[in-house]
């Protein structure tokens, strides 16, 4: 950045060093926050001995601040985490922030929170990661902790609270790539049939709509009857329900843009059946259906949405029930008899089936609500067995004629 000061333009040479005159440099080092006001404090020095001398001065000041000189309070990593959660995560969903808080309070803060920011090193982080792995934490979860730590330290750099991010030189474990667990069509049908015969029969409608649209669970919970276009055989994803330990609320879809999803005859028939059951129930109870009622609601009049976690639990219970039917025979389940699916795997099913049928990545991305088709190709299964067989046949055709 260049700032005009009289005839000389002040130039930021590098982090913490500015040239403020033809032969004059200013050095500034973060020195914590005021204990009462919370205002950021800096230690500054000037030099006329050149940029090399300015760098030496900055290195010395960083060391002095870390040692508690200059009456400074450099602050701890725990304090940075608090500020990052409060001020550095604008636009993040409440549920995402709640997940960050849980990980920070349960794991990150007890191990690293008391370390002064200037003294936090990559060695501290690597020792932390190694201990987690030794205790049985999965590499994927350790990597999640690393991302939180890295994001907080990057923000600390922007706020001039740390000279450099220790996470940049840390070595988190490599996360092995696992194949997605995708239920085949016959198992999705079996789950729908089991749901229809369960204590929560409307889960059959939820699973059907989820599998045919690729909607996220929060988007399904946020679906209102006014979002259904009966004439155009489509629905619009306008909102999503978030849920934390403190409560719930409504937010925009993940990409902050509504999307319109075309529906086939079966999906429309399933929704029409749900509508008929809802209108029959409120008529029998002699109460009006709420304005802008939710499609999936625990309330008779649709005034409140079903919570995302209830869908997760109901789906998990369905899968357990499918396994229990086999276990009643008194024998151990074979791998092919297990039902290791999550509700989110219905999105994998949507993407995989669309790719298997030859649809373009842009089409699949639009249905799933991905802004970038490249993300769809990275995350979801698209090299299906049918495509693999077709690819092999194409290669052989070129040789055999």
- Both 293 and 311 in a single domain? yes
Other CB atoms within 10 A of residue 6 CB: 7
pLDDT at position 399, please?
A: 73
Domain end position, chosen among 126, 142, 169: 169
> How many other CB atoms are found less than 10 A from the CB of residue 400?
6
Establish if 345 belongs to a structural domain.
no
pLDDT in tens, 20-34: 888 898 998 877 666
Question: Could you report the per-residue pLDDT of 74-112, keeping only the tens digit for each?
Answer: 578 988 898 898 887 666 778 888 889 999 999 999 999
**Same-domain pairing of 39 and 136:** no
Q: What pLDDT score was predicted for residue 4?
A: 52
Cα–Cα distance for residue pair 369/376, rounded to 1 Å: 10
The last residue of a domain, from among 52, 71, 90: 71
- Domain, as residue range, for 364: 354-400
Query: Residues near 270 by Cβ (< 8 Å), separated by ≥ 6?
Result: 205, 208, 209
Domain contains 176: no
> In whole angstroms, what is the distance from residue 314 CA to residue 330 CA?
25
Q: Per-residue pLDDT tens for 286-306?
A: 999 998 999 999 999 999 999
Higher pLDDT, 325 or 140: 140
Same domain, residue pair 224 and 279:
yes
Whether residue 146 is found in the same domain as residue 45: no
> Do 326 and 212 lie in a common domain?
yes
Residue 174 forms part of a structural domain: no
Residue 90 domain flag: yes
Asked if residue 66 is part of any domain, the answer here is: yes
The maximal CA–CA distance of the chain, rounded, in angstroms, is: 90
| Domain endpoint, select from 71, 92, 108 | 71
Q: Does residue 322 carry a pLDDT above 90?
A: no
- Shared domain for 81 and 67, answered yes or no, is no
Per the structure, the count of domains in the chain is 4
Nearest to 261 by CA among 366, 346, 162, 354: 366
Is residue 84 one of the residues assigned to a domain?
yes
- In the prediction, which pLDDT does 2 show? 52
Q: Average pLDDT of 214-223?
A: 96
pLDDT-based confidence at 328, cuts 50/70/90? low
Residue 133 has pLDDT above 60, yes or no: yes
Does residue 343 form part of some domain? no
Q: Is residue 363 part of a domain?
A: yes
Q: Same structural domain for residues 54 and 142?
A: no
CATH number at residue 123: 1.10.150.130
Same domain flag for 251 and 332: yes
CB within 8 Å of 305: residues ≥ 6 apart: 221, 222, 241, 248, 294, 296, 297
Secondary structure of the chain: what % helix, strand, coil (to 5)? Answer: 50, 15, 35
Nearest Cα neighbor of 40 from 159, 191, 194 is: 159
- pTM > 0.85: yes or no: no
The reply to whether 279 and 309 lie within a common domain is yes
Residues 223 and 366 in one domain: no
Are 360 and 379 within one domain?
A: yes
128, 273: one domain: no
- The tokens describing 318, both together, are 């369905």
40-47/228-229 β-pairing:
unpaired
Per residue in 241-279, pLDDT tens? 999 888 899 988 887 789 999 999 999 999 999 999 999
């Amino acid at each position: 950045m260049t700032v005009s000061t009289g005839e000389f333009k002040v130039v930021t040479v590098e982090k913490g060093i500015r040239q403020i005159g033809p032969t004059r440099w200013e050095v500034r080092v973060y020195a914590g926050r005021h204990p009462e006001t919370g205002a950021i404090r800096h230690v500054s020095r000037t030099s006329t001995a050149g940029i090399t001398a300015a760098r030496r001065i900055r290195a010395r000041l960083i060391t002095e601040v870390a040692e508690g000189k200059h009456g400074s309070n450099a602050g701890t990593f725990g304090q940075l985490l608090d500020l990052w959660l409060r001020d550095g995560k604008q636009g993040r969903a409440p549920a995402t922030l709640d997940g960050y808080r849980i990980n920070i309070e349960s794991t990150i803060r007890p191990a690293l929170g008391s370390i002064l920011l200037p003294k936090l090193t990559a060695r501290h982080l690597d020792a932390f990661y190694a201990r987690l792995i030794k205790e049985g934490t999965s590499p994927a979860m350790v990597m999640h902790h690393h991302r939180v730590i890295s994001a907080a330290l990057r923000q600390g750099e922007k706020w001039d609270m740390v000279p450099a991010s220790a996470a940049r030189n840390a070595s988190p474990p490599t996360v092995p790539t696992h194949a997605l667990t995708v239920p085949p069509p016959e198992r999705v049908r079996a789950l729908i049939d089991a749901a229809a015969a369960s204590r929560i029969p409307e889960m059959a409608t939820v699973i059907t709509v989820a599998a045919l649209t690729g909607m996220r669970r929060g988007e399904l919970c946020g679906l209102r009857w006014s979002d259904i276009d009966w004439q155009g055989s489509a629905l619009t994803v306008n909102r999503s329900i978030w849920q934390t330990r403190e409560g719930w609320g409504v937010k925009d879809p993940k990409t902050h843009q509504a999307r319109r999803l075309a529906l086939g005859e079966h999906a429309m028939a399933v929704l029409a059946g749900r509508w008929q059951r809802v209108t029959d129930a409120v008529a029998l109870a002699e109460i009006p259906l709420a304005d802008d009622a939710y499609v999936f609601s625990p309330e008779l009049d649709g005034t409140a949405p079903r919570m995302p976690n209830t869908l997760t639990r109901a789906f998990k219970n369905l899968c357990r029930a499918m396994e229990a039917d086999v276990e009643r025979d008194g024998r151990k389940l074979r791998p092919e008899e297990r039902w290791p699916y999550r509700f989110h795997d219905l999105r994998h099913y949507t993407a995989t089936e669309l790719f298997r049928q030859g649809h373009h990545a842009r089409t699949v991305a639009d249905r799933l609500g991905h802004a970038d088709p490249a993300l769809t190709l990275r995350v979801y299964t698209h090299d299906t067995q049918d495509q693999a067989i077709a690819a092999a046949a194409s290669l052989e055709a070129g040789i055999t004629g």
